[in-house]
Copies of this chain bind each other. A is one copy, B any other.
């Protein structure tokens, strides 16, 4: 730990450029925290010639990022390439095998291969850190790994994707449909040209997988996430949510139940005027129950240059100070195999919306199918009267089996008095 910590930077995009800039501009303050200097001793990027507004003049450039893992003047590899396989995975594995520490912002890689990479890191006596993989502007990895560790965490819930929260906030404010708001978000730079990973819930699932491991000490289990995106959310459901006293948010939720660990990514109804419901625009937030230490709630910026680079820097300073425990807070060999909550055990209250023909008997038909599946209704709105025309019936159920509600809706949808597929949105705690 004597001498400077020598970092090899793989990826010089927005975040990599930000990291290099901070290390230069705040070198002194960071060396105070780290106990020694942190220097960039090698970099790798696709295009050497590109002007990035930072001076990398004297720093050796590697065309092949894998070469960073082999350089004797690199102590820590910072992986900012991305992707769950390919070069990123090869680089991280090779670096760990070469006994280099690794700092990564790669949520896909960690969600898919976190357990094996943590094992590799421990076997080689080096550190694997990923604060930047989950909500950069919120030090939630550190909080779960080192802060709120005295009691067992029972649940963790988060708004983990700024693009989705921006879109839902805009849909609520303007009443516009999903597709129009998405186009506007793309124009403003809040959504990617290919927004699939964000709006489909995949990005949230990556982050949730890591939060689950940190909170419950289980191996990351990406395939255990049940995932629904926001592309089917309608302005009508957002408006009805408001009438019932809720807001519609895309949540990642992990819960420890009697039967295992439940991991869900879904648009959900959150009670209005609670911290999670009040998260606006592109902000991220994480709420959790830390046993006797109480519930906690953290909000901050999730993505972009500043927040992500800030998280990478925090990890680098930890590595420089020699502060590296196991990646997920317990030795990789002690990570519990994920025991998934069986689909049949899943329980929730639900918001249901039906487009029905306004004729006598339709409500009786809906009620009968719900009752057959033991689904009972807590509250209901039927708006307006248009005899012979389609109207909306909206209700919130008491807690019921997920599979039972699905069966009831299937039976209801078969009726010739029902238009469209019924809409079903779970209710979540604040």
Contacts and interface: CB of A to CB of B under 8 A. Distances in A.
Nearest to A23: B150
Interface stretch (A131-139, A183-191, A383-391, A409-417): A131-139
A394 interface: no
B294 A307 contact: yes
A292 B318 contact: no
A137 B293 contact: yes
A321 B309 CA distance: 26
A97 interface: no
Contacts of A305: 292
Nearest to A301: B294
A29 B298 contact: no
A340 interface: no
A342 B206 CA distance: 49
A289 B138 CA distance: 12
B329 A306 contact: no
Given A151-B22, A151-B310, A330-B32, A146 B317 contact: yes
A396 to B, nearest CB: 24
A177 interface: no
A33 B325 contact: yes
Interface in A275-333: 275, 278, 290-301, 305-307, 309-310, 313-314, 317-318, 321-323, 325-326, 329-331
Given A32-B331, A35-B325, A329-B32, A296 B299 contact: yes
A196 to B, nearest CB: 26
A318 B324 CA distance: 10
Given A294-B137, A310-B290, A334 B142 contact: no
Indicate the size class of the contact surface on chain A: 35 or more
Which of A22, A30, A294, A306 counts the most chain B CB atoms within 10 A? A294
A293 B310 contact: yes
Given A298-B298, A299-B296, A147 B314 contact: yes
A214 to B, nearest CB: 11
Contacts of A18: 292
Contacts of A295: 300-301
Contacts of A290: 137, 300, 310
A143 interface: yes
Interface in A248-289: 273, 275, 278
Contacts of A329: 32-33
A139 B150 contact: no
Interface in A27-41: 29-30, 32-35
Contacts of A296: 137-138, 298-301
A149 interface: yes
A148 interface: yes
B217 A293 contact: no
A321 B325 CA distance: 7
B32 A334 contact: yes
Top-8 shortest CB links A-B: A292-B306, A139-B147, A294-B301, A323-B323, A296-B300, A293-B310, A32-B330, A150-B310
Given A32-B331, A143-B143, A293-B306, 18 more contacts: A22-B151, A29-B149, A29-B330, A139-B147, A146-B314, A146-B323, A150-B310, A151-B310, A291-B306, A293-B300, A293-B307, A294-B301, A294-B307, A296-B300, A297-B298, A298-B299, A322-B323, A323-B325
